[in-house]
Amino acid sequence: MKIVVLKFGGTSVGSIERIKNTAKIIISYLKQGYKVIVVSSAMSGETNKLVKLTKKISNNFAPSEYDSIVSTGEQVSCSLIAGRLIDKGFLSRSWLGWQIPILTKGSYSHSRILSVNKKKILQFLKQGGTPIITGFQGINAESRITTVGRGGSDASAIMMAKFFKAEKCIIYTDVDGVYTTDPNVAPKAKKIKKISYEEMLEMASLGSKVMMPHSIQDARLNRIDIEVRSSFKNLPGSLITKKKNISSNNIIRGVSFTKNDTKVTLVGVKDKPGVAASIFEPLFKNLINVDMVVQNISSNKRETDLTFTIKNDDLAKTEKLIKNNRKINFKKITIDEKVSKVSIVGVGMITTPGVTFRMFNALAKKNINILVISTSEIKISVLVDQKNLKKAVDVLHKEFKLDY
């Protein structure tokens, strides 16, 4: 059985006209002889509306009920897609996660797909049917509806491709592929034909909004090739695949950036073993992600200045946790919300010397000051003043010949 998994994002099903277009795309694969499994997100904006409803009811809305309500948006879009296919003469029906069932484990809103019962879907495919499956959701061991995090429909599609051994997993969205950087910031950005899981994972975690990092990690662990394509343009997309499938002369494959970072510095921290753990433990327990970290020890080795970055949305909670933390002593806390993180990503830097120098030198020539630095094997990130973001992206895009 030649199976293809097609996933449609919120913008792809954002209106009746777009849902009709989605049906056309599905039909084109059916006419090529594929058995098609469709995974759909909710119509764009619908999940946010549902979240707002929960906040109007309670500031501490029950997690199990939260998942129950936010998962309903996908039911609407899936029924509309199935209804359109039926109208065009094709056998189709919508499936909710619990009807299959898709089994999950983990906490509400952050569950992971554990297994997919294939029996009913395979029977429907053999009958010539096209199942339209709600993304983003499943059920846990207590038969409660769970969700797999925002952007979770991608993860749903990847796991469908895994369990049904699909030949292709295609993510349809509002962009026609993965670009070297955001074309809205750098007009010379180019589409990347093939990109490794590792590079895409770094770019996604560093601000690229094409896919969520946990979805790419699922694809990497299960070795599922993903093609990212546009629902609105009939153009080749970008393939996310294994490193060995890629031949590229570019050391750096992309420049990513974020605009929602805050730099927090604790000045004059009394230095002792375990102080860093004491600072970050309450942040960890409150699910606050700490990114870039720099520690400067004073000459007398008794005090340290510790700088780290968080997302802007977590600032108020972070400030409160730090100030109420009796395990640490410091002189003052400084906060800078007008910063941005700019990163270069590429597996080529593992074997290529001089990349760090080229990056720092290019920024220095444009008088862009670096506030914080962090690195991994395939990425270098720097924190800069927000006013220098576009200039930094432009100069690095040019320096590593991504313009050409």
Answer yes or no: are the C-beta atoms of 84 and 20 closer than 8 Å: yes
Residue 300 is predicted with a pLDDT of 65
Q: Is the same domain home to 31 and 166?
A: yes
When divided into structural domains, the chain yields a total of 2
Single out the residue of 58, 2, 62 nearest to residue 34, CA to CA.
2
Residue with tokens 């955001």: 182
Does the CA dihedral 155-156-158-163 come out positive or negative? positive
Residue that finishes a domain, picked among 140, 155, 174: 174
Tokens found for residue 311: 């997302």
Residue 146 is predicted with a pLDDT of 96
Q: Is residue 206 part of a domain?
A: no
Distances (CA, A) of 78 to 95, 124, 248: 8, 16, 39
Q: Is the same domain home to 10 and 122?
A: yes
Q: Is residue 210 part of a domain?
A: no
Q: Is residue 193 part of a domain?
A: no
Q: Is residue 237 part of a domain?
A: no
Cite the beta strand spans of 207-352 per DSSP E.
226-230, 238-241, 254-270, 293-297, 303-311, 332-345
pLDDT digits (tens, 9 = 90+) for 303-354: 888 999 999 989 999 999 999 998 888 889 999 999 999 999 988 888 888 9
Q: Is residue 67 part of a domain?
A: yes
Q: Is residue 321 part of a domain?
A: yes
Range of the domain at 268: 255-399
Cα separation, 224 vs 251, whole angstroms: 24
Q: Is the same domain home to 278 and 163?
A: no
pLDDT values of the chain reduced to their tens digit, one per residue, 404 residues:
899 999 999 999 999 999 999 999 999 999 999 999 999 999 999 999 999 999 999 999 999 999 999 999 999 999 999 999 999 999 999 999 999 999 999 999 989 999 999 999 999 999 999 999 999 999 999 999 999 987 789 999 999 999 999 999 999 998 888 888 888 888 888 899 999 888 888 888 776 677 788 888 888 888 889 999 999 988 889 999 988 877 767 789 899 998 889 999 999 888 788 888 999 999 999 989 998 998 887 666 778 889 999 999 899 999 999 999 988 888 899 999 999 999 999 888 888 889 999 999 999 999 999 999 988 888 999 999 999 999 999 999 999 988 87
Q: Is the same domain home to 261 and 157?
A: no
Q: Is the same domain home to 20 and 160?
A: yes
Q: Is the same domain home to 143 and 265?
A: no
Kindly provide the b/e burial profile for residues 277-304, where b requires at least 16 CB atoms within 10 angstroms of the residue's own CB: eebbebbeeeebebbbebeeeeeeeebb
Cα separation, 334 vs 77, whole angstroms: 46
Q: Is residue 205 part of a domain?
A: no
Q: What is the CATH number of the domain that holds 22?
A: 3.40.1160.10
